[in-house]
Amino acid sequence: MKKFKYSEITPEKIYKDRRSFVKQIGYGLGTLSLGIMPFSKNANAANEENKITSYKDITTYNNYYEFGTGKSDPYIRSQNFKTNPWNIRIEGEVDKPIELSIEEILSSFPSEERILKLRCVEGWSMIIPWMGFSLSNLLSKVKLNSKAKFVEFESIYSPDQMSGQKYPVLNWPYKEGLRIDEAMHPLTTLVTGLYNKKLPNQNGAPLRIFIPWKYGFKSAKAIVKIKLVEKMPTSSWMWASPREYGFYSNVNPNVNHPRWSQATERVIGNDIWAPRVKTLMFNGYGDEVANLYSGMDLKKYF
């Protein structure tokens, strides 16, 4: 697996902005990492469109259908959601399944800041200062067997707390999946917080996955189960509409959604009259992840 330091893929301008940003919101001295920015090393890539999205936008404009389909529903309806106690089970094609409490996970795997861009399949994007660590670190806790070809993520099923689950909007619980090499890639992040704070419920507390080169829906929230499987899992969105949502769902401006273009995106937080910006292949993380797909027809495997 390719090794890199997050600082090495951070354009200098962003890095500087990031330092002033750090001062601005008064981060403690303990804050570790530099950001990871999606836009290559081009100096000219550092401009207005690479600004970190505000805490307010990140936490009030959400997709989390368990709490409703409106953008403000998750913020409004998730405040009493119970994230403690919380256990995460790792099972399937492993020598021995394990169950870890969220406390164990938080204390065993220190989180670092990772500034990564989220590109929703609906055509908007945000740059989010996540806190988290690589999923591969957690998976190293179990011994995978040779049949472990894919990983399936399962979100919580709790219709009493999540009124959206009373309606068959999706096939609950929310499920997503990755190929094992995608899951092991260091950019595949288990998210524990944002803006150096605890993860808000509406963003997927206490633990959600984040895969920066894929459309946002791949990044399942409130995960309770991680299952190693042999066959490609069927995600909730593939169930809902296989023609529109493929297993890979890599951000790809050359493959349109059947009902709309994916060539450009609206940057959340920009003035409403600001032009949309060009969507980048793999959401700008091609240098890091394109090799996972060499030789694959990404129109067929969308």
Ligand X SMILES: Nc1nc2c(c(=O)[nH]1)N[C@H]1C(S)=C(S)[C@@H](COP(=O)(O)O)O[C@H]1N2
Q: Give contact residues for Mo ion (rule: CB under 5 A).
A: 63, 120, 216-217
Query: In sequence order, what are the residues at sequence separation of 6 or more whose Cβ sits closer than 8 angstroms to the Cβ of residue 255?
Result: 262, 298, 299, 302
- Of the pair 172, 237, the CB lying nearest Mo ion is at 237
Q: How far is the CB of 216 from Mo ion (least distance, A)?
A: 4
Q: Which is nearer to ligand X, 203 or 252 (CB)?
A: 203
- Cα–Cα distance measured from residue 223 to residue 226, given in angstroms and rounded to the nearest whole number: 8
- DSSP state string for 151-168: EEEEE---TTT-GGGGST
Which of 105, 115, 118, 162 touches ligand X (CB under 6 A)?
Answer: 118
298 vs 213: CA distance, rounded Å: 13
Give the residue at shortest CB distance from Mo ion: 120
Among the listed residues 78, 111, 219, 262, the single contact to ligand X using CB under 6 A: 219
Q: Which stretch binds ligand X (CB under 6 A): 2-10, 41-49, 100-108, 217-225?
A: 217-225
Shortest spacing between CB 120 and ligand X, in angstroms? 4
CB burial of 228-247 (b: ≥16 within 10 Å; e: otherwise) equals: bbeeebebbbbeeeeeebbb
**Using CB distances below 5 to 8 A depending on partner kind, what does residue 39 bind out of Mo ion, ligand X, none?**
none
Angle of CA points 12, 2, 233, to nearest 5°: 110
For residue 290, the 8-state DSSP code is G
Give dist(CA 256, CA 266) in Å, integer: 16
CA dihedral 59, 215, 22, 107 (to 10 degrees): 80
Query: What would the x/- binding string for ligand X be over residues 159 to 188, using CB under 6 A?
Result: ---------------x--------------
Tell me the closest approach of the beta carbon of residue 256 to ligand X, in angstroms. 17
Residues in region 12-41 near ligand X by CB under 6 A: none
Q: Which residues form the interface with ligand X (CB under 6 A)?
A: 62-66, 118, 120, 155, 174, 203-204, 216-217, 219-222
